[in-house]
Amino acid sequence: MIVTAPNRAAEILRKIESRQARIGIIGMGYVGLPLALLFAEARFRVTGFDIDCVKVDSLNRGSSYIVRIPATEIQLARESGFCATADYAQIAAMDVVIICVPTPLNDYHEPDLSFVTGTVSSIAPHVHEGQLIILESTTYPGTTEEVVVPLLEKGSQTGLRVARDAATAGFYVAFSPEREDPGNDTVARRDIPKVVGGCGPVARDLACAVYQTIFNRTVPVSSPAAAEMTKLLENIYRCVNIALVNELKQLCMRMEIDLFEVIDAAKTKPFGFQAFYPGPGLGGHCIPIDPFYLSWKAKEFDFNTRFIELAGQINTGMPYFVVENIIEAMSQQGKALRGSRILILGLAYKRDIDDLRESPSLTIIELLQKRGAQVEYNDPFFPTVGHGRKYALNMASTPLEKIPEFDCVVIVTDHSQYDYPGIVAKARLVVDTRNATRDIQAANIVKC
């Protein structure tokens, strides 16, 4: 006997509201782990899924591998029933499954959905009727409907289909973009509104009900594609404006105008202006990647996103601009780059976090090494760095006491722990890409 969708929907809604729903979160990284802890704090039984057995073992011991998440939070969640596993067969015991896996670019700057497709294909045999599947991974509009749903339906061992209305039995699918901002201590996670788009009103409402237990506000939209586009708009907005100030920085340097002074003056305007700041390039999982996701998808509709692509090109070129300025600054001191010793300050993509994803520091190190420099780094959040998806440094952080031994020190990430006056006093040459030395007057500082 087939149980009708309304009864199934009512059952899962009852479980959500009574905190009896089992929550499974796939991907215990910078997005999935904080989300799991929020659900555990709300008294749900949460299971974290990850293919990295090191992360699984760490979580089950009550340890943390993310600096901003103390081990005490994980231990408290463990007391509420939180556990981690690499066994996707346990998906069958979950009422709600939330997918938080990476969506990087491939070598051709095209969307790489292999983590999403691999995950969905792995869980599809274990999906059951009435289960709610939510994708949170940032992606192009259409991914949920065109990629996730077909894979779930194809992999179902019982022939289940997505339930798109109240009269249909099956499983429910929704998309809700993550809005994590590592290092942001000014906005509590619960206060970040959650955008939700479902494959039909039942899926949308169930997903909203789930998120309303841990977020103070949900924002329902008409479809998964609208929610997917919302996420891209948010990040492309930032990308375009950062590209604007990065280009203005290059012009202002030629005109011998301090762009940071200009920005500070402009932001006194009480309307119509939001301050964005230049830097050595974009990092993190979203802002450097999202424009390329939308540009790629737009080609399907014979549309060329020229404005967005230009912004991506400007930001991608910033590490090269930094390296050229390092070469020029050293040349002014009669020193060639080849054979020189360079110390990079900061590997993380922004201050005070332990996140290397798409960090411009990695590109700058690679470019300097290719030109013959001997490059080392210092970062208080990375005592050592080995292998990653796009880097193979195999290096250890160099103590700041060795600064006098280097020909040039490059400030790429402006961690608040750094003593900038002390750094400038010890260094032969400082190239500052973040305006971290704005209050220091010294002849050995070069801004870029």
Catalytic residues: 286
CA 182, CA 34: separation in Å to the nearest integer?
A: 10
For residue 123, give every residue at least 6 positions away whose Cβ sits within 8 Å of its Cβ, in sequence order, or none.
26, 88, 91, 97, 133, 152, 155
**Strands 132-135, 96-99: parallel, antiparallel or unpaired by DSSP?**
parallel
Q: CA dihedral in degrees (366, 371, 375, 381; nearest 10)?
A: -20
Q: Is 365 helix (H, G, I), strand (E, B) or coil?
A: helix
Q: CA dihedral in degrees (7, 11, 12, 17; nearest 10)?
A: 130
Q: Return the CA Rg of the chain.
A: 24
Q: CA dihedral in degrees (41, 32, 171, 209; nearest 10)?
A: 40
For residue 185, give every residue at least 6 positions away whose Cβ sits within 8 Å of its Cβ, in sequence order, or none.
none
Tell me, what amino acid is at 313? Q
Burial group, residue 161, by CB count within 10 angstroms (0-12, 13-18, 19+): middle
For residue 30, give every residue at least 6 positions away whose Cβ sits within 8 Å of its Cβ, in sequence order, or none.
66, 180, 182, 285, 355, 357
CA 307, CA 251: separation in Å to the nearest integer?
A: 19
CA 227, CA 207: separation in Å to the nearest integer?
A: 12
